[in-house]
Chains A and B, each alone.
Chain A
Amino acid sequence: MSEQHHEAHKHHEGHGTKYKYGMVIDLDKCTGCGACMVACMAENNISFRKDNSDKLLSNYWMRVYKISNGLPFPDTEICYIPRPCMHCEGHGHHHHTPCVSVCPAVATDYDQETGIVSQIYTRCFGCRYCMAACPYHVRVFNWWDPKWPEGMEKYLSPDVSVRMRGVVEKCSFCNHRLQRARNKAYAEERREIHEDEYQTACTQACPAGAITFGDLQNPEHEVHKLKDSPGAFRLLEKLGTNPKVYYVSSRAWVLKAADVYIGEEGKGVTHP
């Protein structure tokens, strides 16, 4: 059985280039402006409500969290943590991605070629197991059918389908941009995609340049180097989710806060 699985796996890898798209977010550069959230909502046709301030009911694919070192003035420091989907790879050949392994509808899968965790809205029936399984809270549920102020539906992106009430959605690393980049590559009769041809909306919107996106396995891509920089870590690494979003910070208290569940506080770099 496992032999067969390995065969099947090889079969997948034998076609096209194998990518491993990921992100490195520099927390020292992030100012918490929220441009990434806005760009994400506009790019991905994310619906909003009249009062979007209720964070329990509003949907975001990219969300900026705020943590503080808890010290009184003048030593107070703030760190903002932008949080897209981590596109967990898991370990081994089974790609034990938490959300993928629990989905009873096969509405979400781990793409063997790109490492992107998909979400197929028309396949999802809204059981929300994936939301329970995701340790990063990146998945959101549509409690209402999307509605846009009159005329605004003309500004929707035709490359991203809108989601109906009752389904789960999440960040796709702007997969439609990869599709677009592929299209262009095919037209020029090549298969490989250049780094600048496929960038997520949040990456391009960040005025501080805090987000870097690319193929983690490709030595020519910026992220390949950045993910190994000192002070690089991933969220909840101990869980073995093997996420593809890395964070970088030079501040000791941020690293400490990020490592809080690992039990080795302050060690910083924790990926194997």
Chain B
Amino acid sequence: MPLAGFSAGLVVCLFVGWLVFPQILYSEKTQPIDFSHKLHVDEVGECDGCHYFREDGSFSGIPRLASCVECHEEAVGEHPEEAKLVAEYVKPGKEIPWLVYARQPDCVYFSHAAHVKMAELDCVICHGPIGDSDHTRPYQYNLITGYSRDIWGWNIAGMSKNAWDYSQTDESGEVHIDSPARMKMDDCAICHEEKGTNDGCFVCHK
């Protein structure tokens, strides 16, 4: 009987901790435009078509509106999201307030050049097969810290998983990315240790 009581209590605690608490802790926002990476990869090519390196080695990150305007000065198709892009952002010349899933805290320095150019890591290793996705996924952020849930990781049990474990294909064949890999300090440190690169604090902090 005490064992049954304990087990019931444990189940309740796990239920609250793993399912209820995250709902309370994280708030959700949707991206201003439901962007299809898949469609654009087909048109533009590889990731670096839009997410390119500047000459000084810095990474451009999410493209500014000007890049969109190159093709979308007027609507080129009939997609409602494209109509929204043209009407709400391109015509008034307003930057799109994208929500950045991988935004790190201020104290973190990350060099894309070091990882992509020197270590030759594929984009998918950290970001997942986001190029295959048809829709943007919701942006969840921690209500206390304000940080994106991608940093802490979507697995509340704390297990670090690879991005591609989370992608799902629905009945219509569309790929959805639930979450890329975690981007906590430990996750960086594990790889740095494995590869034997400098593990000094000032390598990744500023």
Contacts and interface: CB of A to CB of B under 8 A. Distances in A.
Interface of A: 11-12, 14-16, 108-114, 116, 118, 120-123, 159-162, 172, 175-176, 179-180, 182-189, 191
Contacts of A14: 196
Given A14-B196, A184-B56, A185-B57, 12 more contacts: A11-B196, A12-B198, A108-B201, A110-B200, A111-B201, A116-B202, A123-B201, A175-B206, A179-B111, A180-B57, A186-B57, A186-B113
A23 to B, nearest CB: 17
Contacts of B44: none
A172 B200 CA distance: 13
A109 B200 contact: yes
5 contacts: A109-B201, A179-B206, A183-B114, A186-B113, A187-B53
Interface of A is mostly: loop
B57 A175 contact: no
Contacts of A186: 57, 111, 113-114, 117-118
Nearest to A185: B57
A14 B200 CA distance: 14
Contacts of A176: 109, 206
B197 interface: yes
Nearest to B202: A118
Contact of A162 (B55, B106, B114): B106
Given A183-B56, A186-B118, A187-B117, A120 B198 contact: no
Nearest to A14: B196
A250 to B, nearest CB: 35
Nearest to A111: B200
Interface string B185-206: 0000000000011101111011
Q: Which residue of B105, B196, B201, B203 has the most chain A CB atoms within 10 A of its CB atom?
A: B201
Interface string B115-131: 00110000000000000
A30 B117 CA distance: 42
Interface in B135-188: none
B201 A120 contact: yes
A159 B202 contact: no
B76 interface: no
B107 interface: yes
B58 interface: yes
A183 B203 CA distance: 12
Given A111-B200, A112-B200, A120 B114 contact: no
